[in-house]
Amino acid sequence: QVQLVESGGGLVQAGGSLRLSCAASGRIFRVNAMGWYRQAPGKQRELVAFRINGGSTNYVDSVKGRFTISRDSAKNTAYLQMNSLKPDDTAVYYCNADIYTGLSVRQNYWGQGTQVTVSS
């Protein structure tokens, strides 16, 4: 089994910064991709940022230039550096990972979520 453990959420004023971490552990053969989604109250879950093995990244337009996703492959950990935060960024942020647990066994996993609240 694989577990994703997130940390780093909290309350911050508009314009401030937070750094989220997501550590993957368990039966991991290879991490194919890791990323972050978020869900605000009354809204659908949306992709925030994703990083594929090899370095390719993808961001939702609303966070481009403010958020940066990175990975420490040796630690199977992904980070989301969030700068210039806005009240609209308030949401529960979920880590997502696409992981090979064997040579040909590939599964998708979710973290438990971490709350980010940005006050105006």
At residue 53, φ and ψ (nearest 5 deg) are -50, 125
- What pLDDT is recorded for position 104? 86
Residue percentage of the chain with pLDDT more than 70: 100
* Two tokens, residue 45: 């879950």
Q: How far apart are CA 67 and CA 62, in angstroms?
A: 9
Q: How far apart are CA 110 and CA 92, in angstroms?
A: 13
Each of the 120 residues of the chain gets a pLDDT tens digit; together they read 899 999 999 999 999 999 999 999 999 999 999 999 999 999 999 999 999 988 899 999 999 999 999 999 999 999 999 999 999 999 999 999 999 998 889 999 999 999 999 999
Which residues are registered as beta bridge partners of 44?
A: none
pLDDT tens sequence across 97-120: 999 998 889 999 999 999 999 999
